[in-house]
Amino acid sequence: MRAVAWADYAPPLDRLALGIKFGGDAALAAWLGTLLALRVRETAPATPALVLPVPLAASRLRQRGYNQAWELARGVARSLGWPSDCGLLSRPREGQAQSTLPLSRRAANVRSAFHARALPRGTRVLLVDDVMTSGSTAEHAARALLRAGAAEVALAVLLRTPAPGPRAEMS
């Protein structure tokens, strides 16, 4: 899966992610989505993709009042002129917050957590999330989309946690 990130998860940008995730700042998330769209435009093929957010579990959605990934995805889609949808991919299985788990337990926590409705054959999807650390959430969401008929799934994240050591480039 091809992935692109706007920036690394590090000070002072980490505060942006915390603000949209836990601070209830949907307007900030939408604006950051337009910045993420600039990065997507640099790396994406010209063919439009369907823009989808990584969904929240129902309890987290109720707790936060909105899905920050959906606000980012709407900003990306609006800026690129691509279609978006917040209901095609769902997260029917609750799990622990990924941020509370060690990297070694994250994949198991999201295994079978996602469900996607059937997609038209050949659909290209751009999956959008706020932060990527291990990649487990994106991987399992992408698997659900591929099972549902997506031809290709790419990932755009606002911030990514860099691997220890020299900075690795993402494209």
In this predicted structure, the answer to whether residue 169 has a pLDDT above a threshold of 60 is: no
Domain annotation covers residue 166 = no
Q: What are the residue ranges of helices labelled H in 23-102? A: 26-43, 58-64, 68-80
CA distance linking residue 154 with residue 125, whole number of Å: 6
pTM above 0.75, yes or no: yes
Q: Are residues 130 and 159 in contact, defined by beta-carbon separation less than 8 angstroms?
A: yes
Domain annotation covers residue 39 = yes
In this prediction, residue 170 has a pLDDT band, given cuts at 50, 70 and 90, of very low
| CA torsion, ordered 164, 167, 168, 171, to nearest 10 deg | 130
Domain annotation covers residue 43 = yes
In this prediction, residue 111 has a pLDDT band, given cuts at 50, 70 and 90, of low
Domain annotation covers residue 165 = no
Domain annotation covers residue 34 = yes
CATH number at residue 140: 3.40.50.2020
CA distance linking residue 40 with residue 36, whole number of Å: 6
**What residues make up the domain containing 147?**
3-97+107-160
CB atoms within 10 A of CB 99: 9
Domain annotation covers residue 168 = no
In this prediction, residue 101 has a pLDDT band, given cuts at 50, 70 and 90, of low
Number of folded domains in the chain?
Answer: 1
Task: Please write the tens of the pLDDT for every residue from 4-63.
Answer: 999 999 999 999 988 898 888 889 999 999 999 999 999 876 678 899 999 998 888 898
Q: How far apart are the first and last CA of the chain?
A: 10
Q: Are residues 138 and 132 in contact, defined by beta-carbon separation less than 8 angstroms?
A: yes
Domain annotation covers residue 35 = yes
Integer-rounded Cα radius of gyration of the chain:
15
Domain annotation covers residue 122 = yes
